[in-house]
Amino acid sequence: MIGEQHILSLLKRVTDRSPAERTELVYMGGRSGLTRYTRSAIHQNVVDENTRVYVRVAEGKRLGVVTINKLEEDELVRAAEQARESALHQPENPYFEDFPQPAEYRKTQTYFEATAEFSPMARAEVMKKVFIQAERLGFEVAGAFTSGDGEIAVLNSNGLAAYHALTHANIAIVPVSEHGMSRAGAFSHDVSTIDFEAVAARAFERCAMNRDQQEIPIGQIDVILEPNCLAEVMMWMGFIAFGSNAFIEGRSFMAGKLGERSMGENITVYDSIVEPEAQGLPFDFQGFPKQKVVMIERGVNRGVVFDTISANQAKARPTGHGLPPGMPHGAMPWNVCIEPGDSSLEEMIGSCRRGLLVTNFHYVNGFLDPKKALMTGMTRYGTFLVEDGKIKHAVKNLRWTESMLRAFSNVQAISREREVISDEGGMFSLMPAVYIKDFTFTGVQKE
């Protein structure tokens, strides 16, 4: 960790020396340790330390961006000079007015010393216990375990100065037997809150069930989707529906239809950095304060996320969802949450006369028909037939093709418990399990 004072004072000196009319600097840096394992043995331990600084300048309404991986004052000033030269050759952006002004930020707790100090040996000790239990059960284990810390800072020539530190711990456990496999994982900013024994037990239980897979007829069937499935879907919804570009360009099913119903009354989808299960970065990569945004409220289209430029284009207010400078996607939701319900996974299974329990989606493609949120994908890591309230047997992996608007209009139950799913840092999704009527399956995986 470099520290807030050192980073911000350095960035301030660079903006003071920049030859551009206006300058914005975004610093992203940190350290991430990775322990990778297969066949119940660690085969890779690496540590990645990286620094990236985005230098964006404005000359009138012309913008230029240069990215470097050195946190050195003279190098950053040279980058500002190069960005200015680039800006002078760019067309004017009619929707750019200025970089954000100084602001107050909500405090969020995303840095934990225990996680920052979690060593390769500590990760190995966790995995040793998992390997021993797997051997007793006749499984081998593959997967990865990462932990580390990071810093993000934004400073511009308007006097805005924002800094935030984060830690992350993320584990994936994939037991493999001669019959099949499963997957379970966990993410937290605070490694001490992860119940590794419970994560492994869930993975082992599903792996033991995932054997003698039978083929079932394709068509429409009730499904119980676990949180990882919804996380895949909501990541795609960010691209095709909830982000600024899709909305402004008319590709989103929400474009021109705010205030109209697109899903069932029991579905509320929102972006929030402060939830009981997880917290996130309090500002975006422009330094604008992150706002809670409700995209779907009780099935009704309410809004999408914006950065400052896309907000001007849409004649809306910024929501604090700007991405790093130069990225082509516009504003995107970072912390998508689905409001919990009053059921549980066990109650959903118990109420199901005939359906499928799906633990994970794989190879999802959300570009089939964004106006209908039509997507396709595969099931993976264990799909199980449920009959008369009990799990009967595993089934072969299936291809599905479904409009998620239709699917989310047919939700019968939502779990009280939600799972935090993330790669690392301040970006995560918070998903429950859901019971959906008549989900459409279109093919069976052939060996």
The per-residue pLDDT for range 286-317, each reduced to its tens digit, is 999 999 999 999 999 999 999 999 999 999 99
Domain stop point among 173, 192, 207: 207
Q: What pLDDT does residue 427 have?
A: 78
Which tokens hold the place of 318? 């910024």
What is the pLDDT at residue 329?
85
Contacts of 39-45 with CB under 8 Å at 24 or more apart are 39/140, 39/141, 39/142, 40/131, 40/134, 40/135, 40/139, 40/140, 40/141, 41/131, 42/124, 42/127, 45/120, 45/123, 45/124
Domain end call among 183, 207, 231: 207
Tell me, yes or no, whether 274 and 392 share the same domain: yes
Instruction: Check: CB of residue 2 under 8 Å from CB of residue 71.
Output: yes
User: In terms of domains, do 107 and 150 share one?
Assistant: yes
Q: How many CB atoms lie within 10 A of CB 157?
A: 20
User: What percent of the chain has pLDDT above 70?
Assistant: 99
- CB within 8 Å of 339: residues ≥ 6 apart: 267, 268, 269, 270, 414
Domain boundary among 207, 223, 255: 207
Same domain for 193 and 231, yes or no, is: no
Domain carrying residue 261:
212-444
| Longest Cα–Cα distance in the chain | 72
Residue 99 and residue 234 in one domain:
no
Question: Does residue 216 share a domain with residue 184?
Answer: no
Global confidence as pTM? 0.96
pLDDT higher than threshold 70 for residue 78: yes
pLDDT of amino acid 446: 74
pLDDT band at 423 (very low <50, low <70, confident <90, very high): low
CA distances from 290 to 85, 184, 380 (A): 31, 30, 34
Domain co-membership, 34 together with 126: yes
Position 447 scores a pLDDT of 62
Listed residue (381, 32, 383) closest to 185, CA to CA: 381
At residue 424, the pLDDT reads 54
Of the candidates 439, 434, 437, which has an alpha carbon nearest to the alpha carbon of residue 269?
A: 434
363-373: average pLDDT: 97
Q: What is the pLDDT of residues 101-160, one digit of tens each?
A: 999 999 999 999 999 999 999 999 999 999 999 999 999 999 999 999 999 999 999 999
Are 262 and 367 in a shared domain? yes
Mean pLDDT in residue range 247-259: 97
Q: Select from 237, 185, 191, 192 the least CA-distant residue to 206.
A: 185
Q: Are residues 258 and 154 in the same domain?
A: no
Q: Are residues 314 and 347 in the same domain?
A: yes
382 and 440 belong to one structural domain? yes
pLDDT (mean) for 19-25: 98
Query: Do 203 and 338 fall into the same domain?
Result: no
Q: Are residues 122 and 66 in the same domain?
A: yes
364: enclosing H helix or E strand? strand 354-369
User: How many distinct structural domains can be found in the chain?
Assistant: 2
| Whether the predicted pLDDT of 390 surpasses 80 | yes
The string of pLDDT tens digits covering residues 210-246 is 999 999 999 999 999 999 999 999 999 999 999 999 9
Confidence of residue 436 (pLDDT cuts 50, 70, 90): very high
Q: Supply the mean pLDDT for the chain.
A: 96
CATH code, domain carrying 185: 3.30.2290.10
